[in-house]
Structure 1
Amino acid sequence: MRLIAKDFSQLSKEELYEILKARQEVFVVEQARAYQDLDELDYESFHVFYEEDDRVLAYLRAFLKEGEPGTIQMSRVLTVERGNGIGGKLLKDGIAAIVEEKDPERIYLEAKNFAVGFYEREGFQAVSDEFEVDGQAHVAMVLEINQDN
């Protein structure tokens, strides 16, 4: 298993296919949600994923949050297989890759309510009341990046 972190233009067509396949598997099929997963944000995103045998096992993307200089927004966080610790590993290593490559002041995300504890373990803090996205309850969360390094 290896960690890969690339801007959109650096992705091979095979990597992009496997990323989109994993996103569809988790967010559309498994969660039984009909929504437009492909959006223009993929083009400007930093894609971080674990792959093994040419298959994406865990994935997230990050992009500049509109109207908030210094803030990177993280989204589409997923694991294809759960219970093996890869999700926590991806989050920790993904944050490190984002900080190294993009040098943000903070990382923002919109967490589903059931995943708030997952993000809190890496230092994210809830910064909003509950709101709905595609029929699911979410909370905005922020991780402040220590700029003293």
Structure 2
Amino acid sequence: MEWSIKSFDELTNDELYGLLKLRVDIFVVEQNCPYPELDNYDQLALHFFLKINGEFAANVRILPSNSKYLEVSIGRVSVAEKFRRQGYARQIMQNAIDYVLNEWNEKRIKVQGQEYLKDFYSGLGFEQVTESYLEDGIPHIDMIWEAK
């Protein structure tokens, strides 16, 4: 098990390909949702990922404040199907929150999550701040985490 956090420029070609493949496999293919996965924010992001036996198991993208949103945001939260239900989503999210809090000294984090994941994000301390809305045909909500 190998945790890594890298800027876009620090990613190797193989790492970038692996992360993009994981995201496309989940958000485009598995969810049958054609949308522009390559959105020009990866270049600004930190990419936090988990590899298990050389396979990409989980990934999140952390964007600095005043990039996509006013707040720091965590997005593209993804866990490969074969690694689900083992707690990796919670681990990677908690690690990302800790990184933002301790390394960037930021006190607010935004997620734009699929509505069915509300309880997951609430369990990490996020609070819903918008009504449900459709994004690429899938119900989403915005949620904010604030340091206590």
Structural RMSD (CA): 1.5
Matched residues in 2 for 1:100 and 1:24: separation? 30
After TM superposition, give the deviation of residue 132 of structure 1 in Å.
1.1
Aligned residue identity for 1:24: V
SS state of the match for residue 38, structure 2? coil
After TM superposition, give the deviation of residue 10 of structure 1 in Å.
1.1
Contiguous gaps of at least 5 residues in structure 1: none
Aligned residue identity for 1:108: K
Contact 1:72 1:108 in 2 (8 A): yes
Partner of 1:32: 32
Task: List structure 1 runs of 4+ shifted beyond 3 angstroms.
Answer: 65-69
Matched residues in 1 for 2:100 and 2:47: separation? 9
Q: 1:87 aligns with which of 69, 74, 89?
A: 89
- Give the number of aligned pairs: 145
Partner of 2:19: 19
Aligned residue identity for 2:144: V
Partner of 1:55: 55
SS state of the match for residue 86, structure 2? coil
TM-score, normalization by structure 2:
0.91
Contact 1:44 1:63 in 2 (8 A): yes
Please list, as runs of the form range in 1=range in 2, the aligned pairs for 1:1-149 lying within 5 A after superposition: 1-66=1-66, 71-81=71-81, 82-146=84-148
Contiguous gaps of at least 5 residues in structure 2: none
Matched residues in 2 for 1:49 and 1:144: separation? 23
After the TM superposition, which of the residue ranges 133-142 and 90-99 deviates more from structure 2? 90-99
TM-score, normalization by structure 1:
0.90
Contact 2:62 2:96 in 1 (8 A): no
SS state of the match for residue 15, structure 1? helix
